[in-house]
Chain A
């Protein structure tokens, strides 16, 4: 599909970083000295992850050392420094999900999609990750595909689900 010379466009998904997009974010929090986290959240909202240029721009705009910005960005689970898949598959690993077979569900989904838990597929189609608890423990074990919840899974229904989302993707 891509005519990129080195053929790496798809795998690295180089996105144009338009620094102007930041301005509104920076302005909104300019007077709030404690707002580094909301700024990073809003920045990630724009790009889907936090590329290095974005971290540098945040550091400059807020007059904060880059090391500190990097420190905060790597501390919290919400922030990602690498590009993410178009579809995020979150397998819940809360206690209730664990007790009702969440491990098996994770293994099946990871097996079916060919992506290890915590990783993003080479073609940036899917990211499979484990989340601590999504707070729907009454419906365990469950998986979120983007924001769509799939509840009370077992290894069979999980495989069906993974097959379906892979099929939908290839369409």
Chain B
């Protein structure tokens, strides 16, 4: 069965196939090859082309294929589907109904990508070209307006005017702290010195966030253009893109983009024939979360251990190699060209009083549609989780969201009407942060969740200052013993005091915010801590030591796999007979669960 949709009346048909990291590793390159071959074989390359794009956002439904001009969306495309889609396009048929996206198996198919629930409240500024252009082709980017804002800035604006424009837009840093971008640029501009630097921070270390990766992979030129405009405004001549080595595709694409932009005269000496020169280098971060902190990042670029130093002096005055340096997050820079092109007023009209524009969020965890979304600032957590994300992915109840990564906080369902903006989130103990939003359901234990974040920040603590190095370690010990059922009366109070001290006295943002997951779970889920300590009970059944493993006799087929693999010899039973776990011998390792092919073993 087919429905109308691909009919194009002779216009160029563009098949946009996501080759972002998620889709590429899921097989989208094979899909692209297959479609290109079909087009070649049919000899229709004059009217049909394949574009290998960056991330479309809905990673979970990948590999993603969008056919323009109709906007037809095909999720989960494999090689076989690709062949049929290509054939139908070549034949000029309508969209293939059974391949289209459906909310449920019995609901109506949705034809256009823009109409699926995931995209309904999205507003794309930063990601405007992601999923549309081929990030490895500068021609594609230029066709979509890349570097026109840089030209406008060069030809019609003076540095002060550019800074005023950014200031008026209300743009704030998207890396976590939310500092005014215009103000940062002005400080750097006003700092004395001839040599100045621009650094693009794409060292996305937050577990659960991948927007910088997708931006750099999907539209590297918009980041470079933002850097060039920042350089023009602040008086810098050199720039660094600091990107994680763990993101090989992002490294490759940004290097290629720099090369292409230099060849076209958008970067390098005398940009577009003006007096302005700007060279960009790439530095690969070697894997240290603390390098997201600006002074640590600069130490790393200088070839040293990435350890932060006290501020002041701020980088704007004394930064890289002791020169004035402006460090902006990749997402922040990706907003700049749009603001210069469309005007500060247009940007400031989006969002709320103190939080302007849009923000990209990585929506993950127990949510139906996981992926990357860009929404106007000020929408509520509920709209994000239930509107865009489609609600809980399981039949269980949604319990909380964790916003802002290891530096952020956990918000319970009762606070889902909180608007997503810097100040409102800070009031309830969370932060916008880099934009990781992890949805959890009743199967997540909040004490264990706090332990998870703490174990991350503890491992990533650079060790320079005592509160962070020792304090997070002691906190982790306490939380760990609570999850093991060894919590003591008074632990909660001790944890609270320690958390406050670590937050107040640590040197850098990592230590100052490390207690946030503990503090917010203590604030909103205190009863779970109390149950662990007083009743030795984990209501989520997530803490192994507090659970009992049982075999359901209805489901057990008596295969003996669990008995064979039990390291504690705690399982008894004959082949094809009933099996049983001896709770006294069971060490609660959970190995049996993984070996049961019939889902007969559960935790209670």
A36 within 8 A of B: yes
Within the complex, which residue of B60, B248, B453, B456 is in contact with A139, where a contact is CB–CB below 8 Å? B60
A139 touches B303 (CB 8 A): no
- A99 pairs with B444, CB closer than 8 A: yes
* Binding stretch for chain B, among A8-16, A119-127, A151-159: A151-159
Are the C-beta atoms of A41 and B59 separated by less than 8 Å? no
Encode A104-132 as 1/0 by CB contact (under 8 A) with B.
10011001000000000000000000011
B306 touches A135 (CB 8 A): no
**A19-45, CB under 8 A of B: which get 1 and which 0?**
000000000000001111110110000
A-side binding surface: helix, strand, loop or mixed?
helix
Q: Does B362 contact A (CB under 8 A)?
A: yes
**A95–B400 CA distance with the chains assembled, in angstroms:** 14
Which residues from chain B contact A98 at a C-beta distance below 8 Å? 207, 449, 452
Closest A-chain residue to B211, C-beta based?
A135
Of residues B206, B247, B305, B593, which shows the largest number of chain A Cβ atoms within 10 Å of its Cβ? B305
Give the contacting residue for B59; candidates A79, A138, A147; CB below 8 A: A138
User: CB < 8 Å: which of A68, A79, A97, A132 contacts B286?
Assistant: A79
Cβ of A133 within 8 Å of any chain B Cβ, yes or no, is: yes
Partner of A108 from the list B439, B449, B453, B594 (CB cut-off 8 Å) is B594
Given the contacts A95-B452, A137-B370, A138-B364, A76 and B594 also touching, CB distance less than 8 Å:
no
B207 contact from A40, A79, A95, A111, Cβ within 8 A: A95
**A93–B25 contact, CB under 8 A?**
no
Q: Which of B284, B456, B460, B591 contacts A107 (CB 8 A)?
A: B591
Using known A-B contacts A38-B283, A95-B402, A133-B206, determine if residue A107 contacts B590 with beta carbons closer than 8 Å. yes
- Check if A78 sits within 8 Å of B245, measured CB to CB: yes
Chain B contact-residue range equals 35 or more
Residues of A within 8 A of B286 (CB): 37, 40-41, 76-79
Which chain A residues border B362 with CB–CB below 8 Å?
137-138
Q: When the two chains form the complex, which single residue of A104, A111, A138, A159 contacts B370, counting CB atoms closer than 8 Å?
A: A138
- In the complex, what residues of B have CB within 8 A of residue A88's CB? none
Query: Which residues of chain A from 64 to 96 have any CB-CB distance to chain B below 8 Å in the complex?
Result: 68, 71-72, 75-79, 93-96
Which of B204, B287, B449 sits near A76, CB closer than 8 Å? B287
| Shortest distance from the beta carbon of A163 to any chain B beta carbon, whole Å | 12
The reply to whether the CB of A46 lies closer than 8 angstroms to some CB of chain B is no
Least Cβ distance of A79 to chain B in Å?
7
A96 to B462, CA, bound (A): 24
Question: B302 within 8 Å of A by Cβ?
Answer: yes
Residue of B283, B304, B440, B590 near A72 (CB, 8 A) is B304
A136 within 8 A of B: yes
Contact B284 A137 (CB under 8 A): no
Q: A33-B303, A132-B205 are in contact. Are A41 and B245 (CB under 8 A)?
A: yes
A34 to B362, CA, bound (A): 33
With A34-B302, A35-B303, A96-B365: A78-B287 Cβ-Cβ less than 8 Å: yes
Would you call A95 and B304 a contact (CB within 8 A)? no
Give Cα distance in the complex from A149 to B208, angstroms: 17
With both chains docked as a complex, state the minimum distance between the C-beta of A116 and any C-beta of chain B, in angstroms: 14
Asked whether A17 is an interface residue with its Cβ less than 8 Å from the other chain, the reply is no
| Chain B residues in 8 Å Cβ range of A56 | none
Count of A-B contacts judged by CB separation below 8 Å: 153
Q: Quick one: which of B209, B364, B449 contacts A140, CB cutoff 8 A?
A: B364
B574 at the interface (CB under 8 A from A): no
What separation, in Å, do the CA atoms of A145 and B507 have in the docked complex?
37
The answer to whether residues A148 and B22 also contact, given A96-B365, A138-B371 and a CB cut-off of 8 A, is no
Instruction: Judge whether B366 is part of the interface by a CB distance below 8 angstroms.
Output: yes
Say whether A136 contacts B591, CB under 8 Å. Answer: no
A93 vs B289: C-alpha distance when bound (angstroms): 14
Contacts of A77 in B (CB 8 A): 286-288
The answer, yes or no, to whether B355 is at the interface (CB within 8 Å) is no
Q: Which residue from A93, A100, A148 sits with its C-beta under 8 Å from B365?
A: A100
Q: How far apart are B457's CB and chain A's nearest CB, in angstroms?
A: 11
Q: Out of A34, A95, A132, which one reaches B364, CB within 8 Å?
A: A95
- A134 is an interface residue with CB less than 8 A from chain B: yes
A136 and B21: CB pair below 8 A? yes
Interface pair A104/B364, CB less than 8 Å apart? no
Q: Residues of B contacting A147 with CB < 8 Å?
A: 248
Whether A94 and B207, one on each chain, are in contact in the complex, defined by CB atoms closer than 8 angstroms, is yes
Least CB distance from B407 to A in Å reads: 12
B213 and A137 contacting across the interface, CB-CB below 8 Å? no
Instruction: Check A135–B303 contact: CB distance below 8 A.
Output: no
Indicate if B131 sits at the interface (CB-CB under 8 A): no
B133: Cβ under 8 A from any A Cβ: no
Q: How far is the CA of A125 from the CA of B509 in the complex (A)?
A: 40
Known: A76-B287, A98-B452. A135 touches B300 (CB 8 A): no
Is B597 in the interface zone, CB < 8 Å from A?
A: yes
A132 and B366 in contact (CB under 8 A), knowing A41-B245, A139-B26? no
**What residues of A have a CB within 8 angstroms of the CB of B440 in the complex?**
99
Whose C-beta in chain A lies nearest to the C-beta of B436? A95
A140 to B284, CA, bound (A): 25
Give complex CA distance A79, B306 in Å.
14
Q: Is the CB of A99 within 8 A of B594?
A: no
25 contacts between A and B (CB under 8 A): A36-B303, A37-B284, A72-B305, A75-B462, A76-B286, A94-B207, A95-B405, A96-B208, A99-B366, A99-B439, A100-B366, A132-B207, A132-B287, A132-B289, A137-B59, A137-B208, A138-B22, A138-B371, A139-B59, A139-B60, A140-B370, A151-B22, A156-B594, A158-B594, A159-B594
Residues in B lying within 8 Å of A, measured CB to CB: 21-22, 25-26, 58-60, 62, 204-210, 213, 245-248, 283-284, 286-289, 300-306, 321, 362, 364-366, 370-372, 402, 405, 436, 438-440, 444, 449, 452-453, 456, 460, 462, 589-591, 593-595, 597
The 8 closest A-B CB pairs, nearest first, are A138-B59, A36-B303, A95-B208, A77-B287, A155-B594, A149-B25, A76-B286, A96-B364
